[in-house]
Structure 1
């Protein structure tokens, strides 16, 4: 099935350093260049897998921006395409998952991140980039949530995760990933700060001790269920070094596009 690449240039819900709104355009510029192959590791040409691009600007008002994201994902699904979204900060994932729920019911999610993003609110904002998976769980969007790469987990998030059966794993617990629970309908959400800053310095909240780029690519490759959608978020180009993180994000887009295009 063909893929729509969405760009959601939004960082008004960030809690510290702004700049992730520039991420989608920078990732797109790194996606197909003479310096890198357009092919995934499985040999899928991402130029053919991605048949539609949607980088329209979002409304400035947060509620309207969230509504626009949900509507644009629904349009992609209704067209028989699969959405692959670029952030922007991680707050964009909740309105994406709302659209997924309407189409597929509660979904299974592989979430790669340094942080669980399970705050009920942050600084008075219930739709902060620290809150998308709390909102998704509370809204019934989630069947199984497997979080990998965690290394900054507040005690209250740990308690919430245990209460709701969320699998919360650090970067050195990859062998504990329950792949048997990552079945259809399956969604993948990758916050680039889940990857160690040695490989992905261009993020707003770097946390040493993360996953390697090879490990993340390997996790994508191990997924057997067909993907219904995915996102790559939280690139902050102003903090990047020689486009390292942008090119890594572009590689992840190619691997995810191949998976989304695979059935």
Structure 2
């Protein structure tokens, strides 16, 4: 259980859901251990938050546990989206713990925000990677274009019963990628269109994100590799020259009052807990800022 997530499901304002998908990592695997490590490394944190004068245990957080992953990403995303949509129908905010970044597509489908805000070292705008349309390297493209044209047209009986509608178009009007510093030529070309805003790491601190959102609803995804790997080495595709944790914290604080869903992804077991600790802290910052906002 995520420490302090003591509310019942019926009373929850926030629901933690683990999504330990780990099938498309291209360098260092291990994101299947991400949800458990994030919960584990949240244990040392004080319940009380001085800035907001809130206790995490008073913020009505429930931990649903993990949605077991299997080896068909498209089917898993459909099922996971149904689980998260149930959270939304109950009036709670989903807090998704990855797992590889692919799981974010399910969170966005469930929430259907106006704007997708992502902290990420990578653009993730590939149409496919190694022939796979459902990859951690394609997730932002899937968020922009939906999943209907990528082999998921009709929900099977089980996923339909679970509340999932396969291929739901999320109707995201814009993607904002903060901290991106690498991508293929095709990805950078796609990023030049009006529906994508990319902010380089050195410009994130000065980017007026509050004004950019302008009252629109958001979904916030934190790929822990947005951080410089010196701060969070436990991730699959570390990329130097990244963000400092305080810069990521400030983004979370800014977006949280506008957000209807949140995830933190790409934590693995290849460090001494630095990445998981950062992920857990940012999850708590989201809850405090969303509650206080």
Q: What is the alpha-carbon distance in structure 2 between the residues aligned to residue 59 and residue 217 of structure 1?
A: 29
> Secondary structure in 1 aligned to 2:53?
coil
The answer for the alignment partner of 2:3 in structure 1 is: none
Structure 1 contact 111–148 (Cα < 8 Å) conserved: yes
Q: Please, which moves more after superposition, 225-234 or 190-199?
A: 225-234
> Residue 243 and residue 59 in structure 1: after superposition, are their counterparts in 2 closer, same or farther (change >3 A)?
closer
Cα pair 2:224 2:279 within 8 Å, conserved: yes
Using a 3 Å threshold, how does the CA distance of structure 1 residues 210 and 225 change in structure 2: closer, same or farther?
same
Structure 1 residue aligned with 2:57: 47
Offset at 1:107? 2.1
Counterpart residue number, 1:154: 184
Structure 1 outlier segments of 4+, above 3 Å: none
Alignment of 1:48-127 (within 5 A): 48-60=58-70, 61-101=72-112, 106-127=113-134
Residues 161-200 of structure 1: matches in 2 within 5 Å? 161-174=191-204, 175-182=206-213, 183-200=215-232
Q: How many residues align?
A: 255
Q: What are the equivalent positions in structure 2 for 1:200-239 lying under 5 Å apart?
A: 200-223=232-255, 225-237=257-269, 239=270
For 1:173, what is the secondary structure of its paired residue? Answer: helix
- Distance in 1, matches of 2:258 and 2:226, equals 23
Farther-moved stretch of structure 1 (76-85 vs 38-47): 38-47
Aligned counterpart, 2:279: 249
The alignment's TM-score, normalised by the length of structure 2, stands at 0.81
1:229/1:260 contact within 8 Å kept: no
Counterpart-to-counterpart distance in 2, 1:84 and 1:136: 17
Where do 5+ consecutive residues of structure 2 fail to align?
A: 1-11, 147-168
Q: Which shifted more, 217-226 or 3-12?
A: 217-226
Q: What is the aligned-residue RMSD (CA, Å)?
A: 1.8
**Cα 1:119–1:39 shift into 2, 3 Å:** farther
Distance 1:26 1:50, change over 3 A: farther
Q: TM-score, normalization: structure 1?
A: 0.90
Q: Quick one: structure 1 residues 63 and 224, their matched pair in 2 at CA, closer, same or farther if it must change by over 3 Å?
A: closer
Q: For residue 38 of structure 1, what is the aligned residue in structure 2?
A: 47
